[in-house]
Amino acid sequence: MGNVLTIILQRLALGALTLLIVSIVIFVAVNLLPGDFAQNILGQGATPEAVASIRKDLGLDQPPVTRYFDWLGGVLRGDLGSSFAQANFASFTGTDSGAKTVADQIAPRFANTMFLAMVTAIIAVPLSITLGVLAALYRNSVFDRAANITTLSSISSPEFFLAYILILFLAVLNPILPSLSNIYDGMAFSERLQKSLLPALTLTLVVTAHMMRMTRAAIINLLASPYIEMARLKGLSPMRVIVKHALPNALAPIINVIALNLAYLITGVVVVEVVFVYPGIGQLFVDSVKIRDIPVVQACCLIFAAAYILLNLTADIMSILSNPRLRHPK
């Protein structure tokens, strides 16, 4: 067991290192911007004193390396800096306008996005495994082919196409679900669920295909093994052979692909949140990109990358845990 623990710790350290390098990449990328915020906000006719004052206020007068470590230290303490768009320039006006920090802006939206991802996972994972098992059971039948074509089409359509199709059929032509997900604090759980169901369904369509195809392939891979032959010869029903004998051994690649798809959800969530005006982190990210609010863009990017790396790491660790050959490397 100690061996497994070291492997996990190794992977975690590697993940942390990757995240550190990613943070450097993000920081460098952002610092490629010409000019700086102080000049941009004050315009052409700004006096040098005013520019210097705002620079000092935002910490832009420090050399890049110092700023990077300031930012990184802040991130580790949970302080993501203050949003440029909502900066209050306390030293300038003398009063505190009660502007929000980036962390304040992101926290509730992050919770919303997590809620959406969770609802999606709860729908998509059982659905795709059931469909995958059924497709493996009735392989090369009409059902298998129909499922194959449908999932291939849904995975290769852009998210906004699926979103508009769902809006058209489930919100406009048959008003079952609301097409706008205006979520706010203190909303009843059922109402919240109802409002985020349409974006969750869109995301489900996006990720189900891959998971289902992997489940099917993983099970079919095993069907040629001798122990499956044995189970068949014992006279077990095909359903029982697959669910009790093949599925447990196919779980490793399936869990792996589920984790990878949850990581994919993080990218998909941006477009879907914009279509449904869902107040999540993806929407905030796109809005900040448009107004070039650098601290928010930086923070969102880092959070997305961290979640992505963490989920990939989980997939990695899961596959090591479930495969004895990887657990004891030569």
Partner 1 sequence: MILWIIAALVGMGALAWGFRFAGQAATGNAPKFRDMPYGVAYGYVLGAVVLLWLIWAYMQGRSSDPAIANKFFFLRIAIEGFIIFAIAAWLFRLLGCAVGTAWSRKMFRSMPLTASFGILTILIYAILAIFAPAFAPYGQEQIIPGVAANIVPGGDVALGGNPEFPLGTDQIGRDIMSRLIYGAQNTVGIAFATTLLAFLLGGTFGFLAATLGGWLDQILSRLVDVLMAIPSLIFALLLMTIASVWAPQLGIPLTVFMVVIIAVIDSTRVFRLARAVGQNIVVMDYIEAAKLRGEGLGYLVFKEILPNATAPLLAEFGLRFCFVFLTIAALSFLGVGIQPPLADWGTMVRDLGGFVNYAQFAPLAATAPLLAAGAIALLTVAVNFVVDWMLHKSSGLKE
CB of 185 to partner 1, least distance (A): 26
Among 218, 263, 315, 320, binds partner 1 (CB under 8 A): 263
Residue 324 in tokens: 């004895």
CB of 33 to partner 1, least distance (A): 6
Ramachandran bin of 277, using left for φ above 0, alpha for ψ from -120 to 50, beta for the remaining angles: left
Say whether residue 275 binds partner 1 (CB under 8 A): yes
Token pair 């499956």: residue: 228
Nearer to partner 1, 89 or 143 (CB): 143
CB of 15 to partner 1, least distance (A): 9
Give per-residue burial for 37-59: e unless 16+ CB within 10 Å, then b: bbeebeeeeeeeeebebbbebbe
Nearer to partner 1, 53 or 312 (CB): 312
Among 1, 65, 173, 233, binds partner 1 (CB under 8 A): 173
Say whether residue 140 binds partner 1 (CB under 8 A): yes
Say whether residue 100 binds partner 1 (CB under 8 A): no
Say whether residue 131 binds partner 1 (CB under 8 A): no
Token pair 């906004």: residue: 160
- Burial of residue 33, with CB atoms counted within 10 A of its CB: 0-12 exposed, 13-18 middle, 19 or more buried: exposed
Nearer to partner 1, 82 or 151 (CB): 151
Long-range contacts of 323-329 (CB under 8 A, 24+ apart): 323/252, 327/3, 327/4, 327/7, 328/3
DSSP state of 123: H
Q: Looking only at residues 17 through 36 of this chain, which bind partner 1 when binding is defined by CB under 8 A? A: 18-19, 21-22, 25-26, 29-30, 32-35
CB of 60 to partner 1, least distance (A): 15
Across-strand partners of 82? 101
CB 27 within 8 A of CB 71: yes
Say whether residue 90 binds partner 1 (CB under 8 A): no
Nearer to partner 1, 122 or 172 (CB): 172
Q: What separation in angstroms does the CA of 308 have from each of 108, 124, 181, 302?
A: 20, 18, 25, 10
Give per-residue burial for 3-15: e unless 16+ CB within 10 Å, then b: eeeebeeeeeeeb
Say whether residue 68 binds partner 1 (CB under 8 A): no
Nearer to partner 1, 161 or 227 (CB): 161
Say whether residue 251 binds partner 1 (CB under 8 A): no
Q: 95 in helix, strand or coil?
A: coil
Among 42, 236, 309, 318, binds partner 1 (CB under 8 A): 309
Say whether residue 41 binds partner 1 (CB under 8 A): no
Binding interface with partner 1 (CB under 8 A): 18-19, 21-22, 25-26, 29-30, 32-35, 134, 137-140, 142-143, 149, 152-153, 155-161, 164-165, 167-169, 172-174, 176, 179, 220, 237-239, 263, 266-267, 270-271, 274-275, 285-286, 289-290, 292, 297, 300-301, 304-305, 308-309, 312
